[in-house]
Amino acid sequence: MKRLSIYVVLLFGLIVIGCAEKKMVKQQPEEYQPTVTVHETAKRAPDTVDVQPEEKIMEQRFARIESKEEALRYTEEKDVFEDIYFNFDEYDIRDDAKPVLENIATWLLKNKSAIILIEGHCDPRGTNEYNLALGDRRAHATKDYLRALGIASNRIEILSYGEEKLLCFDESEECWAKNRRAHFVVLKEARQ
Amino acid sequence: MIRKPKIHRLQFKILIFFLLLVTSYGLLLTAVESKIYIDITSPAFKKLPIAIQEFEGPLGRDISAIIENNLDFTGFFSPVSSDAFVENPSQEFNPKNWLPLGVEAVVKGIVKQDNELSAKISLYDVIEGREVFRKEYRTSRDLMRPLSHAIADDIYFKLTGEKGIFRSRIAFVSTKDQERMEIYIMDWDGKRITRMGISGNIILPPRWSGDGTKLIYSAERNRQWGIYLLDFLNMSEKNIYASKGTNMAGNFFPDGTTFSFSSSKDGTPDLYVKHIKDDQIIKLSSSYGIDVSPTVSPDGHYIAFVSDRGGTPQIYIMHRNGSNIRRLTFEGSYNTSPSWSPKGDRLVFVGQRGKNQIFTIKPDRTELTQLTVSGNNEDPSFSPDGRYIAFSSDRDGMKSIYIMRANGESQRKITPKGLVAFGPNWSPK
């Protein structure tokens, strides 16, 4: 008796749930019908309007923030050295860059208090984040070359600008080649 | 007389009780169903012809126009032109005025303006010949657009059963003169552009937290790359990561206090995760080359990222702990900028095919689809419901922000002429 009643309950439950699920399956209209797909709504009272409670529309007001300006650590001397250039999508030091880097290394060995900042740049054909990473690799490769020439690591800062600081904007091989560069800035401690 | 043992009677009662429980559960499943007007999950739906009558009262025309524009953009509705209307907005609804036009739903509204703005709207079902939805709203006078968007969301929900995106926002970056960049926020339709006051020499696209209360972004200031958090709740900006090297924010995990990022502090760009609360940093990848652009999946289990470990920049997916790395993109030699749909069922990314174009793909590598063809199209970001994509494009000359449906239809510029805008990120709600 006990086992039978359990089976009856289970069977009944499956039937009821099965019926309900069938009603939830969405029907595809086969021939032209108005867009409306009416499901069986026998349980719903006819002609009720869905009246929603009144809503007050509110919004957080954004107070403006001003970013804090941080004090400059260094003053910068630009254009002391010429730029060196890279091939498309590469960060290897080219042969034509080596004399420039040797010149820089010689200068740094003489001016022992100077620090040099290497900026890595790209042409704009790629996407911004990947180009920032590529510019970073170019600056790092340049730093590694200078270290191999005897310059201490703590005298070389690097910074990637990706494609964010373009020298020219034309879509030409000549302009793109100009942008694929490492640029050198001499840093001196800022006076307080 | 044989007395029936008490225990059988008890068993019988339990049986009846259980039967009733199961029956009422089954009935409940049928009783809560309501009418679905458009099944937007079906691949072969027909657009619903809808008439949005000009609302009566001050600003009525503006409000109803915004609602119509919103519904039209979804691609699920065909708004019928008011030239064809027979019934005036002030006349009582009569289905006989609408059936011949093929209109199936009608929206009417009345607006009042005193020290506040209030609106009362009704939605009518033409086939059933009656009003099916009514609601009142009030708001302050300067929030006419959010009011219109709220009404559009409610109509959209009533007719499709899905939550609309009309009150969502898009964060983006613009250049302030030639030297600096700034973060802005605007409505999803390009209106109410607001400066946040966050600037830097360079700012990378900000990304929303899952609850919409924070933005995370990278900024280069004074020759240093830092990762910053803008918290809307207390309107503060905080530096949450700084080191030597190029530091680029990814996005938040669902918990809102852990985020992914890339940094070249150890020599080459690698992937990391940081827990803001206890300052803990975990390194996830360490390849010889470049690993960047980590983006956490909506469920927090996976991270998609860009790597050149295979020789060229391609998109990979891995477990959040850095294991199980598998490659996602195999076509083309330059695929970057991945971003997940909030539904988790696909990613959008940029593939270089000559110029940069927007593609979507499923995490199992199937259904690779190209969505754009002209100009350079970058920085794609999905809407909260996964149905639309915002992106930047220079197809008209200057970088501007566009939106489109996730299948590539209806591409339209939303930022004004003359504003250089890029790096859009769609809010989570």
Residues B381-421 have pLDDT tens digits of 999 999 999 999 999 999 999 999 999 999 999 999 999 99
Position B25 pLDDT exceeds 70: no
The proportion of chain B whose per-residue pLDDT surpasses 90, expressed as a percent, equals 83
pLDDT of A11 over the 80 cut: no
The amino acid occupying position B335 is: N
Average pLDDT, chain A: 81
pLDDT tens digits, B290-333: 999 999 999 999 999 999 999 999 999 999 999 999 999 999 99
| Contact call for residues B210 and B428 (beta carbons, < 8 A) | yes
* Secondary structure (H, E, C), B90-135: CCCCCHHHCHHHCCCEEEEEEEEECCCEEEEEEEEECCCCEEEEEE
Percent of chain A with pLDDT over 90: 59
Q: Which two tokens stand for residue B292?
A: 């960047």
pLDDT of residue B290: 94
Residue B12 has pLDDT above 80, yes or no: no
* Chain A nearest C-alpha distance from B22 (Å): 6
Please give the Cα distance from B209 to B233 (Å, whole number): 12
Do residue A56 and residue B264 have CB atoms under 8 angstroms apart? no
Lowest average pLDDT, out of A115-124, B2-11, B27-36, B262-271, goes to B27-36
Do the chains contact at A62 and B235, CB–CB below 8 Å?
yes
How does pLDDT run across B137-162, given as a tens digit for each residue?
Answer: 999 999 999 999 999 999 999 999 99
DSSP string, B138-154: EE-TT-HHHHHHHHHHH
**pLDDT at res. B363:** 97
**What ipTM was estimated for this complex?**
0.87
Query: What mean pLDDT do residues B254-259 have?
Result: 95
Residues 6+ apart with CB under 8 A from B267: A140
Tell me: pLDDT of A32 over 70.
no
Which residue, B105, B103, B97, B156, is CA-closest to B132? B105
The tokens 């988790």 sit on which residue?
B344
Q: What pLDDT does residue B244 have? A: 92
Over residues A74-92, the pLDDT tens digits come to 788 878 899 999 999 999 9
Question: Residue A73's pLDDT band (boundaries 50, 70, 90)?
Answer: confident
Residue B32 clears pLDDT 50, i.e. is over it: no
Say how far residue A15 (Cα) sits from the centre of its chain. 53
Residue B36: predicted pLDDT? 75
Q: Do B334 and A56 touch (CB under 8 A)?
A: no
* Closest to A88 in 3D by CA, of A42, A130, A123, A114: A123
**Banded pLDDT at A10 (limits 50, 70, 90):** low
CB A134 within 8 A of CB A87: no
B248 SS3 class: strand
Q: Among candidates B196, B259, B396, B390, which has minimal Cα distance to A66? A: B196
Q: What is the pLDDT of residue A188?
A: 80
Q: Give which of B363, B334, B339, B364 is closest to B349, Cα–Cα.
A: B339
Q: Which of B117, B47, B51, B118 is nearest to B82 (CA)?
A: B51
CA geometry: angle B217, B403, B246, nearest 5 deg: 20
Query: A45 in contact with B at a CB cutoff of 8 Å?
Result: no
Closest by CA to B40, choosing from B160, B125, B164, B158, is B160
Rounded to an integer, what distance in angstroms lies between the CA atom of residue A101 and that of residue A28? 71
Strand bridging mode A84-85 / A55-57: unpaired
Of the ranges A20-29, B227-236, B354-363, which is most confident?
B354-363
In the predicted model, what is the mean pLDDT of chain B? 92
Q: Which of B130, B143, B224 sits opposite A47 (nearest CB)?
A: B130
- CA gap A170, B161 in Å, rounded: 50
Terminal-residue alpha carbon distance, chain A = 95
Contact call for residues B67 and B52 (beta carbons, < 8 A): yes
Domain ranges of chain A: 74-189
Dihedral sign computed on CA atoms, order A11, A17, A18, A19: positive
Exposed/middle/buried for residue A58 (C-beta within 10 Å: 0-12, 13-18, 19+): exposed
Two tokens, residue B144 = 């006419």
Confidence of residue B3 (pLDDT cuts 50, 70, 90): low
Structure tokens at A44: 């719903």
Report the residue of chain B nearest A143, measured CA to CA: B267
pLDDT tens readout for residues A107-161: 999 999 899 999 999 999 999 999 999 999 999 999 999 999 999 999 999 999 9
The Cα B132–Cα B126 span in angstroms is 10
B125 touches chain A (CB under 8 A): yes
Greater confidence (B189 vs B197) lies with B189
- Determine the Cα–Cα distance for residues A94 and A90; give it in Å rounded to an integer: 10
Q: Does B334 touch chain A (CB under 8 A)?
A: yes
End-to-end CA distance of chain B: 72
Domains annotated on chain B, with CATH: 48-160 (3.40.50.10070), 169-426 (2.120.10.30)
Question: What is the predicted pLDDT for the residue at A27?
Answer: 38
* pTM, rounded to two decimals: 0.86
What the block records as the tokens of B77 is: 């509705």
Q: Is the pLDDT of residue A21 over 50?
A: no
Q: Closest partner residue to A35 among B104, B147, B196, by Cβ?
A: B104
Is pLDDT above 80 for B2? no
> Does A174 lie at the interface with B, CB-CB under 8 angstroms?
no
The answer to whether B330 touches B315, Cβ cutoff 8 Å, is no
The β-bridge partners of B360 are B348, B369
Q: Give the A window 47-86 contacts with B, CB below 8 Å.
A: 47, 49-60, 62-68, 70, 72-74
Nearest Cβ partner for B138 among A19, A24, A56: A56
Q: Is the dihedral of CA B220, B224, B225, B229 positive or negative?
A: negative
Residue B178 has pLDDT above 50, yes or no: yes
What are the chain A neighbours of B202 within 8 Å (beta carbons)?
161, 164
The answer for residues whose C-beta is within 8 angstroms of residue B139's C-beta and 6 or more apart is A56, A57, A58, B116, B117, B118, B146, B147
Q: Quick one: pLDDT at residue B258?
A: 97
Q: Measured between CB atoms, does A172 come within 8 Å of chain B?
A: no
Right CATH for A74-189 from 3.50.50.60, 3.30.1330.60, 1.10.760.10, 3.20.20.70:
3.30.1330.60
User: What is the Cα–Cα distance from B220 to B171, expressed in whole angstroms?
Assistant: 18
Please state at what angle helix B6-31 crosses helix A2-24, rounded to 10 degrees.
0
Percent of all residues in chain B with a pLDDT value above 70, rounded to a whole number: 94
pLDDT of residue B205 exceeding 60, the answer is: yes
